[in-house]
Structure 1
């Protein structure tokens, strides 16, 4: 699309509201915590939880908390914020005089570019890239539903949610029958072998070129599965379109009852859903290994609610933050909202850069083709490493905020979308 068809460029700093950036910034900590266990190569992993089966008591506590609070909860939250950002971009373009068709073409161009960014990210560093899944889902949802009525968006969310719930119930029934198979049966051993996680294989490759092949193979399947088949990302995008039309995160004070209900219900379901998986991982339940795959669909379904609850929670926090502001906002978030909240927002404003920077800080240090530190760390020390990685991205974002710079990945994406503006 020609950039001359647009009447305005990208969003300016003064137009940003605190809640989305606050959510994105903190979410990146959860993403680092969720992703780094896949670098624990060279040991036996729990196929149902993607965490090491061995470890100290401290390791088990770390695994328990990550399974309960983080695993399969971060990507739904990020998907909602991604869809919400699409609606914000669309509304800004329309309010500035861009045609509806031109604004939609802009969105699709952005989704294609995210798919391309995801491919490069996976090829170079991280097989679990989510940019490709969001770009693919964004292409489909904008094409099919972006102009749909509000009722249609909600109805289709319920339809997809119903399909996911039915699939989860059927999986639970199937797992119960599978559990009746003796553990020493060849079929049971075959199921366990098929469930063995493949993500650590890429991290265990000593050849960088071989790891590229592994990463792209995993990413190709994962992008389609996460972006379409698992249904959570499309559901989140539909709800984000609906919420974006009402500017719920820009004006959370006008939607406090809704945000409170969603936060309480969503987080409650999101935390209770993974409890059986967490208990089984630490040895408090005795689910046979060949039937433990049931935890994965349960995690996917309840992760949808957990991610939505987290979004609502940050909407409420964003409202409190906006209430505390006095006078005219400064150009520097660290002055306007204080050092901690300002720093988290600075990361959120540069979420694409911060997300990619995590892989730059993790893969060469942890993978076998790099320094190979992932073989020596355990669950609790990897958790500390993840927090350190996030802290480094915060420091980088704060430096950029103080000096008035945009994130380099955001600059590149905007240049490709808008040209020189």
Structure 2
């Protein structure tokens, strides 16, 4: 899924004379096909899965605390949340303004109160926030001639640090709204250990995988087919409806991907070849690998470094995203073979529990 995150983030750096939904307009056949694939399977579909897994991980942390008091558990989660806010702020300011770690931290500061909610409340509030994100919004998808925001491609260090600092706070405060639904459903799923014990929930996971991915793919087509050039760009009023629904249906895709991966893991059983082992190493160092992606974006796209935002196409940027992800896979596997933990995983463990991650 970190591959999907790389594909979802990188195309927003591209410069062009016109844009639609984060992609340059008037694409050639190859770029149009790549944009269709990303809009169908990636954009608005990868991030909900991470929100789900974030909530699932919080449920796991709470379960490990056993009989600890609610106050003790909240303090532990708040320490983790504050660390995410700090790292997210530094990440957004120095590397990539579209950081999600800060938003996760803010979400957890509030979400720490929800870990003791009954299942019914979790599901009700999750459904409520899903409906809110699906409501028409004029700012959901962009059509225009303006290129990437200066905070994405800062022209100097002053813009990078000062403007990004303000943008980071704005994103961290509003970003959690879109993650509430996946987070709460992740808490609910984590209580039942749906992903850890897929053999006990095989039928349910199959339903979620097939249904969720199907809904996400079909819900993406009004936008994806515009990128492909099959249909015209909708007018502003239509787009205010189509845009939010694209992302709202994508939430189901995030759930479907999580269920599908659990089923694949069940099918693999104890077999661990080199590829699965390397991918597992990435999962164990996911924050470090996520931050490594932003180092690449900074070097490749920032105007006072390589500044290739106007040189690369949608297709070549997708290739860059794939190469970047493969690089993190090789890095994570090397760290596994040499007995090294991810540095940011060690830090978050130390801040949360007051001790480093055991080898």
Quick check: TM above 0.5? yes
Aligned residues of 1:37 and 1:51 also touching (Cα < 8 A): yes
What's the secondary structure of 1:373's corresponding residue?
coil
What's the secondary structure of 1:374's corresponding residue?
coil
1:68 pairs with 2:40: yes
RMSD value, Cα: 2.2
1:378 pairs with 2:313: yes
Q: What is the CA deviation profile of residues 246-305 of structure 1, one whole-angstrom value per residue up to 9, with x for unaligned ones?
A: 111111110011101111111011111110101112322123454434432112211111
Pairs within 5 Å for 1:4-83: 27-41=1-15, 43-47=16-20, 49-83=21-55
Pairs within 5 Å for 1:264-413: 264-288=210-234, 290-291=236-237, 292-321=239-268, 323-325=269-271, 337-413=272-348
Deviation of 1:200 (Å): 4.0
Aligned to 1:180: none
Distance 1:100 1:192, change over 3 A: closer
User: What CA distance in whole angstroms lies between the structure 2 residues aligned with 1:217 and 1:56?
Assistant: 36
Q: What is the CA deviation profile of residues 186-214 of structure 1, one whole-angstrom value per residue up to 9, with x for unaligned ones?
A: xxxxx956xx6674433433212212333
Aligned to 2:185: 239
Aligned residues of 2:18 and 2:24 also touching (Cα < 8 A): yes
User: What CA distance in whole angstroms lies between the structure 1 residues aligned with 2:207 and 2:276?
Assistant: 24
What's the secondary structure of 1:274's corresponding residue?
helix
Aligned to 2:202: 256
Distance 1:203 1:368, change over 3 A: farther
Aligned residues of 1:203 and 1:369 also touching (Cα < 8 A): no
Q: So what's the TM-score if we normalise by structure 2? A: 0.92
Aligned length: 354
- Where does the alignment leave 5 or more consecutive residues of structure 2 unmatched? none
User: What CA distance in whole angstroms lies between the structure 1 residues aligned with 2:146 and 2:109?
Assistant: 29
User: What CA distance in whole angstroms lies between the structure 2 residues aligned with 1:148 and 1:192?
Assistant: 41
Aligned to 1:418: 353
User: What CA distance in whole angstroms lies between the structure 2 residues aligned with 1:247 and 1:364?
Assistant: 40
1:123 pairs with 2:93: yes
User: What CA distance in whole angstroms lies between the structure 1 residues aligned with 2:219 and 2:146?
Assistant: 21
Q: 1:217 aligns with which of 166, 176, 191?
A: 166
What's the secondary structure of 2:151's corresponding residue?
helix
Which one has a bigger Cα radius of gyration?
1
Q: So what's the TM-score if we normalise by structure 1? A: 0.79
